């Protein structure tokens, strides 16, 4: 009997995104009985049975990273074709997860090139997650693609795009993150907004924050309802502020008086971090 589609997607994404292999490709083939070789796994990508293709992708995820560029390119091109053409959203989502773990221009290009044509929300999210760890290559436009995804019609896609930008720490994403925070203020974007604030805290050098960035983060401490957003705003302020940033210090001290224990903790940590910058 076929597994339920949603359950299969959950299992597949868990396998390709969250199971980190602790052995090399050769060791995996030696230690895991019944694992097909890379050639066999690539061959299985063309099989009509969806579960066979999915199993092949999970097997290749456990083989990553590949040592030779030639091998990485070969695998990326084959899996990129799956991401572009496979009729199963579950398989395409799994393919995106594997590509995110392959350090190759071909893998990054396959992910970037699939965003515009992909309509399934689950696969778009998988691509956005994969781009968080995709390797950097000249002209790969990963940041630009993720910023564009901040304008997606679905809040869950926007949220994952913000998460990936926070993971990549590219200063070039600042303008797009600010635009997103200005426009998306509803509860449905709490996850995305919290990660956008985390990203700004990561990419802004202490003392170099623009008045606009400071204003967005300070206002969040008094206006936001989401605990997740409040905590990330406080943490970001601690990273970007210096001792002379009076408005930030006042906002953080007021946050320590909140009834929200999580916000109080983050505000206290932020103030301690600012104090340490003087030493």
Residue 141 lies in a domain: no
- Give residue 68's pLDDT: 82
More confident residue, 86 or 23: 86
pTM of the model: 0.84
Q: What is the mean pLDDT of residues 122-143?
A: 87
Which residue blocks in 150-241 are alpha helix, DSSP H?
155-168, 174-183, 190-203, 211-223, 227-240
Q: What is the mean pLDDT of residues 191-208?
A: 91
CA–CA dist 109, 44 (Å, integer): 23
Domain extent, residue 123, equals 1-134
Domain count, the chain: 2
Model confidence over 211-269: pLDDT tens digits? 999 999 999 998 888 999 999 999 999 999 987 889 999 999 999 999 999 999 999 99
Q: Give the residue, 19 or 258, on which the prediction is more confident.
A: 258
Task: Read off the CATH number of the domain in which 246 is found.
Answer: 1.25.10.10
pLDDT of residue 82: 96
How far, in whole angstroms, is CA 277 from its chain's centroid? 29
- Of 100, 134, 168, the residue at which a domain comes to its end is 134
Which whole-number Å values give the CA distances from 113 to 12, 52, 96, 124, 150, in the listed order? 22, 25, 11, 12, 17
CA distances from 181 to 188, 198, 221, 270 (A): 13, 12, 14, 21
pLDDT for the residue 236: 96
The answer to whether residue 140 scores a pLDDT higher than 80 is no
pLDDT of residue 227: 95
Residue-wise pLDDT tens digits, 56-111: 999 898 887 777 888 899 999 999 999 999 999 999 999 999 999 998 899 999 99
Do residues 123 and 117 lie in contact, with contact meaning Cβ atoms separated by under 8 Å? no
Residue 130 shares a structural domain with residue 205: no
**pLDDT surpassing 70 at residue 53:** yes
User: 116 and 24, same structural domain?
Assistant: yes
Identify the CA nearest to 6 among candidates 100, 89, 79, 115.
89
């Amino acid at each position: 009997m076929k597994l339920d589609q949603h359950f299969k997607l959950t299992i597949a994404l868990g396998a390709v995104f969250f199971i980190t292999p602790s052995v090399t490709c050769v060791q995996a083939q030696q230690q895991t009985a019944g694992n097909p070789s890379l050639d066999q796994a690539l061959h299985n990508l063309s099989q009509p049975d969806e579960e066979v293709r999915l199993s092949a992708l999970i097997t290749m995820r456990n083989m990553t990273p590949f040592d030779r560029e030639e091998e990485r390119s070969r695998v990326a091109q084959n899996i990129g074709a799956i991401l572009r053409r496979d009729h199963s959203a579950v398989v395409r989502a799994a393919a995106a997860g594997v590509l995110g773990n392959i350090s190759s221009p071909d893998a990054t290009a396959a992910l970037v090139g699939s965003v515009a044509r992909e309509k399934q929300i689950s696969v778009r999210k998988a691509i956005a997650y994969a781009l968080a760890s995709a390797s950097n290559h000249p002209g790969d436009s990963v940041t630009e693609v993720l910023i564009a995804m901040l304008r997606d019609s679905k809040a869950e896609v926007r949220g994952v795009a913000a998460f990936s930008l926070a993971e990549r720490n590219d200063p070039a994403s600042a303008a797009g993150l600010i635009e997103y925070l200005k426009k998306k203020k509803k509860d449905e974007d709490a996850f995305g907004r919290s990660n956008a604030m985390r990203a700004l805290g990561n990419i802004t050098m202490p003392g170099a924050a623009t008045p606009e960035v400071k204003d967005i983060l300070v206002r969040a401490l008094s206006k936001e309802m989401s605990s997740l957003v409040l905590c990330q705003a406080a943490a970001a302020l601690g990273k970007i502020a210096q001792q002379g940033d009076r408005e930030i210090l006042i906002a953080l001290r007021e946050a320590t008086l909140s009834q929200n224990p999580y916000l109080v903790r983050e505000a206290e940590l932020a103030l301690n971090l600012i104090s340490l910058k003087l030493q």
